């Protein structure tokens, strides 16, 4: 899948992700790019911290796609919700989402958003981490149920979409790269693409 743009490029740009949220975010840069599933096992390793997991998966996704497209500039990214050092994955269903939001109620969760940009042909590779600290309100059971039925964020780490109605569940967001919470830190992405030789403007 490719998105058209008037911005010239010397190398193809590939997003190693099937996430619709990352695709929509990258499209904001108005660069032509294609989508490539990375086919990476996202299971955490024993004793792996959420930060380590996010970094490893972002790098693995980029490397898997770069191996298939060695001349392209490839973006890999991953996000893991971190509750006191415990990784929280995508809930997948309503019951799991209820349990996650109950646990996060009144607490601070760090969303570890990792990013890797690489080009196998040139040997370019950079890794970044964009942690986002999110403080959840004290949530009532009825609020959790109403929110989940309205938005059904079962494919989101942390069971809430901050770019949608999920913002009403929060007290505060602390981040130096605002789109990191949605799944792709665009400030860091732009900086890394420039370093890889790709003109954003």
Q: How many of the other CB atoms lie within 10 Å of CB of 82?
A: 24
Through-space distance between the first and last CA atoms of the chain, rounded to whole angstroms: 22
Q: In whole angstroms, what is the distance from residue 156 CA to residue 173 CA?
A: 17
Choose, from 78, 171, 176, 177, the residue flagged as catalytic.
78
Q: Quick check: is 84 catalytic?
A: no
Any residues with CB less than 8 A from the CB of 81 and at least 6 apart, and which?
50, 87, 88, 89, 100, 109, 110, 111, 112, 157, 158
Helices 186-195, 20-27: inter-axial angle, 10-degree rounding: 60
Residues carrying an active site annotation: 78
């Amino acid at each position: 899948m490719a998105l058209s743009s008037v911005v010239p490029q010397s190398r193809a740009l590939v997003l190693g992700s099937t996430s619709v949220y990352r695709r929509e975010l990258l499209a904001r840069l108005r660069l032509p790019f294609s989508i490539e599933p990375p086919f990476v096992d996202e299971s955490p390793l024993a004793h792996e911290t959420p930060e380590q997991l996010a970094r490893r998966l972002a790098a693995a996704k980029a490397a898997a796609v770069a191996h298939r497209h060695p001349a392209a500039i490839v973006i890999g990214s991953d996000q893991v919700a971190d509750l006191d050092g415990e990784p929280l994955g995508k809930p997948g269903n309503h019951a799991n989402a209820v349990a996650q939001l109950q646990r996060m109620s009144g607490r601070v969760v760090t969303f570890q958003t990792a990013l890797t940009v690489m080009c196998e042909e040139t040997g370019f590779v950079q890794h970044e981490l964009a942690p986002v600290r999110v403080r959840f309100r004290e949530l009532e059971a009825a609020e959790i149920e109403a929110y989940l039925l309205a938005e059904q964020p079962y494919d989101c780490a942390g069971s809430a979409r901050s770019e949608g109605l999920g913002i009403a569940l929060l007290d505060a967001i602390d981040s130096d790269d605002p789109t990191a919470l949605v799944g792709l830190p665009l400030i860091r992405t732009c900086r890394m693409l420039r370093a890889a030789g790709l003109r954003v403007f």
